[in-house]
Amino acid sequence: MNINSNSVPGRILVYSTFDVILTLGIRELAPILTTILFSVFAALIFTPLIRWLNSKGVSGGLSVLLANLLFAL
């Protein structure tokens, strides 16, 4: 059975199928995506602090450690 590419019901079926597959895929990837996005957010928040500490003469490793301690608190 061939579905005509100009058929409206055919397009609705194909788009609905893509929508279901995309929704299920995003739902399965949510824990990974949440972790990645949270890490990027934390990096954006603490980068100015690390750069400021580096400009004040604190070593890079120590400034990252201090930022992580602040984040943990």
Q: Which residues contact 32 (CB under 8 A, 6 or more apart)?
A: none
Mean pLDDT (the chain, rounded): 89
Evaluate if residue 36 carries a pLDDT over 80: yes
Tell me how far apart the alpha carbons of residues 12 and 17 are, in angstroms, rounded to a whole number.
8
In sequence order, the 6+-apart residues with CB closer than 8 A to the CB of 72 are none
In the block, tokens 């590419």 appear at: 5
pLDDT at 2: 62
Model confidence over 38-70: pLDDT tens digits? 999 999 999 999 999 999 998 989 999 999 999
The alpha carbon of residue 28 and the mean position of all alpha carbons in its chain are separated, in whole angstroms, by 14
Question: Domain extents for the chain?
Answer: 8-72
